[in-house]
Amino acid sequence: MTGNPMAQAEFVVRTIAQTAVANEKYFGDLDAVVGDGDFGYSLARGFEVVLADWDTFDRTDVATFLRKIAVVITSKVGGTSGPLWGTAFLRAATTAAASPDLTGGTVVTMLRAAAEGIQARGSASLGDKTLLDALIPATDEIARQLELGSDAPTTIRAAATVARTSADATAGLEARRGRASYTGERSIGSVDPGAVAVAVIFEALADAWPTAS
């Protein structure tokens, strides 16, 4: 995970944005099972703005770039997703400001900061059936792969595999946060759309990573 830090950040953010837009219906259908069905729509509308305004973002450094993305996401993604995803980008930006290079260790720290921001903003914890149930295990796997000395493609693919397995496992959990929590035990049996979104994003990054430069 070395190279041009800004190019890396642009690649990751653009992939996230394109994935959110492309999977609008899929994410919405998942959310409609026990939620209000607007997750896919809200996420897509916000990231459409990111893509439309792509060339206007300040690229002074990675931190500045991510802060600008955070502002758009917070203001343009509707429902509870905007503040949560916006906070994730903002916390990642704060971490990036302390490190000029996006090393593997920095990426892990950024992801952990993003997860902590989501936990604080949404009063959610691991096991509450939220996107954290895919994000935290995937981050842990990245850290594990770095300790093993794995290269970037291997690391991101391993993280994607863990994210997918973890997202699928949310079907066995009872929702404790968000609109789905209102359904109580009826939420058991369906996957969390936020966790699945994290898995799909990691899979998209893994698929595109070998050609990214």
pLDDT of residue 80: 81
Which domains are assigned to the chain? 5-211 (1.25.40.340)
Q: Which residues in the chain land under pLDDT 70?
A: 1-2, 34, 36, 174-187, 189, 210-213
Per-residue H/E/C for the chain: CCCCHHHHHHHHHHHHHHHHHHCHHHHHHHHHCCCCCCHHHHHHHHHHHHHHCHHHCCCCCHHHHHHHHHHHHHHHCCCCHHHHHHHHHHHHHHHHCCCCCCCHHHHHHHHHHHHHHHHHHHCCCCCCCCCHHHHHHHHHHHHHHHHHCCCHHHHHHHHHHHHHHHHHHHHHCCCCCCHHHHHHHHHCCCCCHHHHHHHHHHHHHHHHHHHCC
pLDDT of residue 178: 55
% of the chain beyond a pLDDT of 70: 88
pLDDT of residue 190: 82
pLDDT of residue 180: 46
Residue with tokens 């896919």: 40
Per-residue pLDDT of 27-83, as tens digits, reads: 999 988 867 678 899 999 999 999 999 999 999 999 999 999 999 999 999 788 899
Count CB atoms within 10 A of the CB of residue 119: 18
Count CB atoms within 10 A of the CB of residue 212: 17
Residue with tokens 């391993």: 158
